[in-house]
Every structure is written in structure tokens, then in C-alpha cells.
Amino acid sequence: MDNSLIVWAFTLIVGFPLMAIAFGEASDRLSRSGNPLGKVFYNLRRWVLPLTAVYLVSRQFLGVETPSIPLEFTTEHFLQVLETGLWVAVTYTILTLLSSIFTTRAQSKAGKSHSWQILVPGLFFQAARIALMLGMSAYVASNIWKIDLSQIATALGVGSVVIALALQDTLSNLVSGFLLVFESPFRIGDWLKVGDIEGEVIEMNWRAVRLQTREKDIIVIPNGVLGQETLNNYSLGDPYHIERVKVRFSYDDPPNLVRNAIKEAVLSISPVLDSPAPEVHISTYSEFYIEYEVEYTIDDYPIADKIMGEVLTRIYYTTRRYGLTIPLPQAVHYEIQGEPSQSGSSREELQKYLRSLPYFISLDNDAIATLAKSANIETYGIGEKVVEAGKEDRGLYIIRRGTVKLYVEDFQGSKHDVQTMSTGEFFGEMALFPGETSPVSGIVLEDLNAITIECDIITQLIEENGKFASEMNMLIKERKKSLALIQNVRSKNTSSLPKKNGRFSNSSILNNQYDSSI
């Protein structure tokens, strides 16, 4: 027997079964781990190996030869069909391999890619698949079926004009798509503005680009249209973007005060960048108002509308606290009788509310009247910080309406809740200790309407009323314990309450200052 036949027989009898077992095991293991290469080994075992084995048996052992001109189907043509099927299986397996090795940005964003895969543009990926299929088809036609491709090329040359005219728009989109890929004016994930349409690029293929708008709608724009439009790419290069918004205030409001209030409001929003700092300047003097233009910088354009809404909300609450006026579009006549009220609350209402609070029960009517006279009403919106760790408290805050959460941050920036405060409770007690900073931050969970009292007034009442000092001492002491429990530390030192100008007379009563380590 010919040695070559022995080699082929050994390969078929031993080699192919072993390869089938190896490919099957590899396919199972890779598929279970979610690796896309599992499909490649599955196709090799399911399609390529059996067709290769049948082809070799027919060619090497049965002696079937490929006819030169396939005029009618004979036994020999079986080998051509078999070889064609083999190359189809090989082509399909190679396409699966390409899909496993290469990945597009859309697949990567969807979490379907692996670290070892190569990122390529979607248009190139599709072009490579088409080129492979055309190349394999040409090989099968010319080498297996003995078809003269030059005649087909001649026929295509004659009809190319007709085809080009019929596919003018399609070819325009295809060429424009390749030009866009080579020029790279945008990538998957960039935020574009095309005409009046804004959206994120989620896919780019041979015909069109798909944008997803803020409303989660999908807009399909042909490549030919994109090639003729002016594109605004908000993600290319510098990620910083300047937003502008206009607000109006009364002539009675000093411009410098307005600018400071607006800057404070804008900088209190975390997505707004501190550098470059927000700018506020007067844009128009109108008949009934002064218009200010606010410029601030962000680095996340897709949520620009959301940030602008938050900016306008913070400006409202901040300007209310500063007592500024946002004028109405029509003339409004005000008639003020007696002492103006604050936020719709008269002094009598404030006195009645303060007298109802348990920690003020030991104060007489004159003391309550003194508190009400010196009190201010302030409003804060959801998400605003009222007190901040490391900064001095501006006064004692008594909650009339709303909710505030007090929290601390550790060295890793993790937040730990201390207490959630609501109507009738107070915070900002570190204002009673001049020079001391707040150990906690307070953020508004529900729109806050608070009574703020200057620390000098509270200190004076503490010095004049020992019972009131004891009650405040007990409340502050409980607050300190809660904070120490959260931070897992113990208070080591206590000191007395300092009095203004360094004098104090009631240190024996109120002697529970926050530990400096908190």
C-alpha cells in the first residue's frame, strides 16, 4: 500500500476524532465562560471537520477528480459541491473568528467585549466581512467551478453606469461613510449637533449614523446628509463647555450683591467647575429690571439641560435668602403697613412658634420676643448644603418646615449619616463656640424653611438663664455622643462655652464644647 495512503488513513482514523474531541472540549469550556471564541471551535467541529473528512475520503481514497467544465451534473461534480460546502463552512468560521477578535465601540459600551479584543470602527468591521465573503466567492467560482471571472468583469463594466445611477444614493452614503471614518470628526459615544438634532452617536455603519437624543429617541441620519451638514461635536478635544443663562432682578437690588449671590448659587452645584470660575455680568438695562448673564463651565455636556435646571433652582433659593427680587412682567403695587414680615411670617407668629419648642420652654416672654426680633427666615432647596464640615456655622438653625440630613465624611470620602432632622429641631450649634468649625455637613432632603438666630443672642440668653444653659448643654451633649458613635471615637476633652470678647460667666453650666478631633 502507498505510504501516502497510510498517512491519510491514520490522519482520518486517529487525527480527526482527536481534533473533534479537542474542538468540542474547547467549545464547551469557552462557551461556559462567555468567551466568543467558543463559537469558532463549535463551527470547526460541526462543519469544517466533517466536510474536510468527506472531501479527503472522496479525493484520496475514492479517486474522484474535479471536472474541468461543469456542463452537466455527474459523479465528479459531487466533489465540486462538497468542496464548495467546505469553503462555505471555512468562510463562516473565519467570519465567526473575526467577530470574536474584533469588537466595535457599541459592543464595548454594551459590555459585550473582552480586554483582549481589538476595537475597530463598525464600518471597517462590516467592510472586512464583505471583502472576505467576496474574496471567498471569487475563489470558489474560479478555482472550483472553473468560471472565467473576466467575462463577468466585462459584463459589470458595461452595466456599471446603469448600476451607479440606480444606486446613486446608496453609493453616496457608502463613500461618505468611509470618508467620515478616515477623517474621524466624531466617534461612538460623542455628543453631536446636526442641524436642529442633538444626540449621542451610538452606531455608524455603511449607510447611516444613529443618534440617541436626550429623550431616548433614535435618529437615523444618512452618511450623505452628514457629509453636507455642519457638525457640532461637544465631545471632541476639550471636554469643557460654557453654558449661559440669563436672569432678571429689580433695580432696587445692588448689582454687586446680585453677582455674589448668583456665584454662590452656581458654585454650590457639584457638576459646575470651580475653575474657570463662573462669571456674572449685566447684559441689559430694561424698563423694569436689570438682566444679568451667567456663564459657568461644565465637562459633561449630555446633562447640560439638567445642570441648567439645577442652576436656576439654586439661584431662586439663594436670592430669596439674600432678599433679592425677581421682577414680574407686569407692574405690581405693594402696600406695606407696619413692620414688614419675613417670608409671610409675622413676629407674633415667630414668637408663638418659638414658644412651642421644648428647648425654649424655660425662657420668658421677653426672651422669646428678643429671639423673634433677631431671627431671620431662610429657605433652601433640595440638595443645598446649609452647614459644611470644616467651616464655621453662621448661626443656630431652627427647622420650621423641611428635612435636613447631617453627615460626616471619612478619609476615603465615604459619607456616614449622623442624624436626619425635621420640624422643630435645630442644628448649627457650633456657632455658639467662636472660632470652632462644624464637624458635620448638612444637606437638604426636603425644601427647608428655617429660622436663623445669631449666636450672640443665644449666648446672651445662656448667660442670663442657667436652666436654659443646662437644657442646651444636654441637647448638645446628646448630639456629640451620636457623632462620636458614628466616627467610632471617644471624646477626650471638654471645655466651657466662650463668651463674646473672651468673657463668660456661665461656664460652669454650659461646658460641653465639641471635641476638636471630631
Same domain, yes or no, for 384 and 484? yes
Parent domain of 279: 241-321
Same domain, yes or no, for 367 and 489? yes
Q: Which residues contact 245 (CB under 8 A, 6 or more apart)?
A: 293, 294, 308, 311, 312
Q: Are 206 and 177 in contact (CB under 8 A)?
A: yes
Same domain, yes or no, for 394 and 272? no
Same domain, yes or no, for 35 and 125? yes
Single out the residue in 191, 207, 233 at which a domain terminates: 233
Tell me if 515 is assigned to some domain: no
- CATH number of the domain that residue 180 is part of: 2.30.30.60
Tell me if 246 is assigned to some domain: yes
Same domain, yes or no, for 357 and 471? yes
Tell me if 12 is assigned to some domain: yes
Question: Beta partners for 208?
Answer: 222
- CATH number of the domain that residue 439 is part of: 2.60.120.10
- pLDDT at res. 272: 94
C-alpha atoms less than 13 angstroms from C-alpha of 248 in its C-beta half-sphere: 11
- pLDDT at res. 46: 83
Tell me if 269 is assigned to some domain: yes
- pLDDT at res. 68: 52
259-297 pLDDT, tens digit per residue, is: 999 999 999 998 999 999 999 999 999 988 999 999 999
The low-confidence residues of the chain, meaning pLDDT below 50, are: 1, 69-71, 73, 165, 338-344, 489-518
Closest CA to 512 of 433, 442, 411: 433
**Looking at the 3D structure of the chain, how many domains does it have?**
4
Same domain, yes or no, for 27 and 54? yes
Tell me if 122 is assigned to some domain: yes
Single out the residue in 211, 233, 255 at which a domain terminates: 233
Same domain, yes or no, for 248 and 213? no
Same domain, yes or no, for 138 and 176? no
- pLDDT at res. 423: 92
- pLDDT at res. 81: 83
- pLDDT at res. 488: 58
Orientation angle between helical segments 304-321 and 255-267, nearest 10 degrees:
130
Alpha helix positions (H), 102-199: 105-109, 122-139, 149-166, 168-183
Cell 463656640 belongs to: 433
Residue 371's Cβ-count burial label (10 Å; 0-12, 13-18, 19+) is: buried
- pLDDT at res. 257: 93
- pLDDT at res. 131: 81
Same domain, yes or no, for 39 and 174? no
Single out the residue in 269, 304, 321 at which a domain terminates: 321
From CA 259, how far away is CA 278, in angstroms rounded? 10
- pLDDT at res. 509: 40
Tell me if 264 is assigned to some domain: yes
- CATH number of the domain that residue 248 is part of: 3.30.70.100
HEC-encoded secondary structure of 339-407: CCCECCECHHHHHHHHHCCHHHCCCCHHHHHHHHHHCEEEEECCCCEEECCCCCCCCEEEEEEEEEEEE
Measured from the Cβ of residue 313, the count of other Cβ atoms closer than 10 Å reads 16
Same domain, yes or no, for 206 and 249? no
Q: Which residues contact 29 (CB under 8 A, 6 or more apart)?
A: 38
Same domain, yes or no, for 282 and 382? no
From CA 518, how far away is CA 418, in angstroms rounded? 12
Cell 419648642 belongs to: 357
Tell me if 158 is assigned to some domain: no
Counting residues of the chain whose pLDDT is more than 90, the rounded percentage is 21
Supply the pTM of this predicted model: 0.58
Helix/strand/coil for 119 = strand
Tell me if 514 is assigned to some domain: no
From CA 458, how far away is CA 431, in angstroms rounded? 10
Same domain, yes or no, for 207 and 258? no
